[in-house]
Amino acid sequence: MIRFPENIRAVLFHFSARFQRWLRRVGVALRRVRYLRPLMVTLVLIALLGAGVAWSEYQTNWFARRLGAFLLSTNALRPQSGALWHDIQAQARTQQAIDTADPLPVPRAGLPNAVTHSRFEGSRVPESGVPSFVAIYRTPLPGVDLNTRPLGDVIASLRVYRQGLAIVKALYLPDVHFHAEVRKQIDYLYAQVGDIELVMPDSTALADSLRVVDPDSLKAAVFSELATEVIPNLRLREKDALIDAYQNGQIVQIFLYRDLGRFRGELFREGSQVPVVFEIEVDAVSEIVE
C-alpha cells in the first residue's frame, strides 16, 4: 500500500471535497432544468406560433384587413372631435366644392379660347427637378359647355395651357427650317432676271480668275447672302404664327427631349403629321415647368 506524505494527502483530500461539492451543485442544476423544461417548451412553441402568424400576416394582410373593416364599421359611432377630425372635415368640404358631380359656373371672361373649348394636359419625366421629357397635348371638347366642367379641371387645363404658351414663346427655330423658303425665293429671283451670264472684263488676269467661278458656286454664294438677310425676318414671322396658332387651339401636341445642353422639341399642328422642329434652352424649360 502506497503511503503519501501528509502534505500531499491534505491536498488530495481538499481536492476531493471540492469535486464532490461541484458534483452536488451540478445535480441540483440538472433537477432545476428538469422542472423548467415544460416552461421552456411552452416559450419555444409561443415563439414559433408568433413567427408563423407574422409570416402569414406579411403574406396575406388578413389581420390588417379585419381590423380595417372593424374600424370602418364603427366609424360612425366614434366622436368626431379633435384636430384630426377638423382637418378631415375641412378636406371633405373642399373636395365637395370641386366635385365633378357639382359643377361650378366658370366665368368666360379672361379665359383663352383654346381653354374654353379644349382640355390641356401635360406630363414630365422625372416629376421633380430638371425634366428629361415634357409632353403637352390638347384634347378637344366639342359640345361641352364650360359651365358643366368642374372648376378644378378648368384650372388645371389653364395652368398647362400657360406652360405650353411659354414654351412656344421661348422656342428657337433653326436656320434649316427656312432653307426651303430661301431656295424658293432664289428660284423666283432667277426666274425674274433669267440665268446669270458672266461677262468677261478686258483685263486678262481678272478674266482668268472669273473663269473658275461657275454658276453653281455663284448661286451658293447668293443663297448664303440672301439667307443671312431673310432668315431673321422669316423666323420672327413664323414664331408669331405659331403663337397665334397655339392661342387659337391649332397646336395639338408639344414634345420636349433633353439633349446636350439644350432641349429639342416638336410641335404638331392640327391636321398635320409633319412636326415643327425647334430648340429651347434648359434654363427656360426649368423655369416654365417648375
pTM: 0.54
Q: Cα 121–126–127 angle (5° rounding)?
A: 55
Region class of 270: left (phi > 0), else alpha (psi between -120 and 50), else beta: beta
Instruction: Please list the residues that pair with 258 across neighbouring strands.
Output: 263
Asked if residues 288 and 168 have their Cβ atoms less than 8 Å apart, the reply is: no
User: Angle at Cα 270 formed by Cα 268 and Cα 271, nearest 5°?
Assistant: 105
Low-confidence ranges of the chain (pLDDT < 50): 101-104, 198, 200, 206-207, 210, 212
The set of residues, in sequence order, having a beta carbon less than 8 Å from that of 211 and lying 6+ positions away, is: 200
With cell 408568433, the residue in question is: 50
Give the residue among 51, 164, 159 at the shortest CA–CA distance from 111.
159
C-alpha to C-alpha distance for 192 and 75, rounded to whole angstroms: 87
Per-residue pLDDT, 53? 82
pLDDT at 102: 47
The predicted pLDDT at position 41 comes to 72
Per DSSP, 275 falls in state P
Q: Is residue 163 a contact partner of residue 288, using CB atoms and an 8 Å limit?
A: yes
Q: What is the pLDDT of residues 37-60, one digit of tens each?
A: 676 777 778 888 888 888 888 888
Question: Tens digit of pLDDT for each residue in 63-102?
Answer: 888 888 887 788 777 777 777 777 777 787 777 765 554 4
